[in-house]
Amino acid sequence: MEYKNILIIKMSSLGDILHTLPFAAALRSRFKEAKITWLVHPQFADFLPKKPVIDEVIYFDKERFKKSSLADKIRYFFDMRKMLHAKKFDLVIDMQGLFKSAVLAAISGCKRRIGYCEMREMSFLVSKPVCGENKNAHVIERYLDVARFLGAEIKNIEFPIPDLNEAENSLKEKLKTVNGRYVVFAVGARWQTKEWILEHFVKLSQMIAKDGFFIILAGDKSEKQKGEAIYMRTQNEKVIDLTGKTNLKELAVLIKNCDFFISADTGPLHLATAFKKSLIALYGPTLSARTGPYANKNASVIVSPLSCTGCLKKSCSDWRCMHEITPKMVYKVFKEKIDG
């Protein structure tokens, strides 16, 4: 069936949106003449692909909604409904699979609504889950199964990246003291249980700096305190703290131009994957087979040796998994990859 006006709902987070980019590229290859719109939270909009992949971006401002009075929430809801109805979508694809995305799909006015196989929080009652042969595989393949269901042929995994020229120029000023090879550490993660601990970052920074590399600490404003602590404790002029000091596109350029990347399971890791960077990914509570670096032969994954690894817990009363991935373990893999 042909569709002329398609809405993708994928509002957050950075990693989830990056995982959806190959789906967006496949959808465009299947529906070359359709208008494709993407509904997203404003803070992630800068990294959505522009034309020819995505024609229009619309926003659901979660932060504004949360801070609003009840009357303003109701007004915002009906304004969103009116706007979505006016777009007259003939296909809505809920790639978020949560209650919030289900509500937006429901009020879109579109009768044809589908989603990927893992539809949670009752969202399957609003949009039809599409489950293909990869329903237990990596999330990128689960998303691509939706494109396959719609008739797309997937030959290659493609990450359509927005233009980064302006960010290239603005980042140069922030890296003016870097005059050699550099390694990016993304220091945080959305779940506390996914984070590699501060002391390990300090030790690894000291080890890698001795090899002559600059260490760039990266992350958003919520990770600034951790970045500052690593910087202060490392006491090395080769360590530069940029946590909370780059926008999304500058972060992308920082990673694109790095010599190596190290992090836990977090959004910037999937940026590094999209750029095919040499990297080490550290996994404890999450499953690398489902959300790890994908289609990147330069990636190495270190999984915690504890038996409880892969529990998917966002909080834990006996959190030790990420502690057990030691700086020596990471440094050993780093040296093998750099020297090899």
* Sign for the pseudo-dihedral over CA of 240, 281, 54, 37: negative
Report yes or no: 241 and 230 within 8 Å, Cβ to Cβ: yes
Report yes or no: 218 and 185 within 8 Å, Cβ to Cβ: yes
Q: In this structure, is residue 156 part of a structural domain?
A: no
Question: In this structure, are 44 and 140 located in the same domain?
Answer: yes
**What pLDDT, on the 0 to 100 scale, is given for residue 162?**
87
Distance of alpha carbon 38 from alpha carbon 14, whole angstroms: 14
Distance of alpha carbon 35 from alpha carbon 52, whole angstroms: 10
Question: In this structure, are 112 and 193 located in the same domain?
Answer: no
- The mean per-residue pLDDT over the stretch 201-226 comes to 94
Q: Which helix (H) or strand (E) holds 198?
A: helix 198-209
pLDDT band at 201; cut points 50, 70, 90: very high
**What pLDDT, on the 0 to 100 scale, is given for residue 67?**
86
Q: Which helix (H) or strand (E) holds 92?
A: strand 91-94
What domain range is 328 assigned to? 166-339
| 8-state DSSP, 305 | S
38-52 residue pLDDT tens:
999 998 998 899 999
Joined tokens for residue 294: 């994908």
Boundary of a domain, candidates 93, 122, 149? 149
Q: Residue 317 is which amino acid?
A: S
First to last CA, the chain: 50
Q: In this structure, is residue 290 part of a structural domain?
A: yes
8-46 residue pLDDT tens:
999 988 889 999 999 999 999 999 999 999 999 998 998
Mean of the per-residue pLDDT values of the chain: 94
**What pLDDT, on the 0 to 100 scale, is given for residue 1?**
84
Distance of alpha carbon 224 from alpha carbon 208, whole angstroms: 21
- The mean per-residue pLDDT over the stretch 269-293 comes to 94
Report yes or no: 223 and 244 within 8 Å, Cβ to Cβ: yes
Structural domain total, the chain: 2
If you search the block for the tokens 């960077």, which residue do you land on?
277
Burial class (CB in 10 A: 0-12, 13-18, 19+), 70: exposed
Q: In this structure, is residue 181 part of a structural domain?
A: yes
User: 88 in the Ramachandran plot: left (φ > 0), alpha (ψ -120 to 50) or beta?
Assistant: left
The helix-helix angle for 327-339 and 198-209 (nearest 10°) equals 30
Question: In this structure, are 182 and 296 located in the same domain?
Answer: yes
Here the CATH number for the domain that contains residue 71 is: 3.40.50.2000
Q: In this structure, is residue 160 part of a structural domain?
A: no
| 8-state DSSP, 194 | G
Distance of alpha carbon 256 from alpha carbon 249, whole angstroms: 10
Question: In this structure, are 203 and 140 located in the same domain?
Answer: no
* Sign for the pseudo-dihedral over CA of 64, 66, 67, 71: positive
pLDDT band at 141; cut points 50, 70, 90: very high
Report yes or no: 249 and 165 within 8 Å, Cβ to Cβ: no
250-272 residue pLDDT tens:
999 999 999 999 999 999 999 99
What does R_g of the chain's alpha carbons equal in angstroms? Answer: 21
- The mean per-residue pLDDT over the stretch 233-242 comes to 92
Question: In this structure, are 138 and 14 located in the same domain?
Answer: yes
**pLDDT at residue 340 is higher than 80:** no
* Sign for the pseudo-dihedral over CA of 334, 307, 270, 201: negative
- The mean per-residue pLDDT over the stretch 182-191 comes to 93
**What pLDDT, on the 0 to 100 scale, is given for residue 13?**
86
6: Cα separation from own chain's centroid = 22
pLDDT band at 190; cut points 50, 70, 90: confident
Question: In this structure, are 136 and 228 located in the same domain?
Answer: no
**pLDDT at residue 245 is higher than 80:** yes
| pTM value surpassing 0.85 | yes
Q: In this structure, is residue 159 part of a structural domain?
A: no
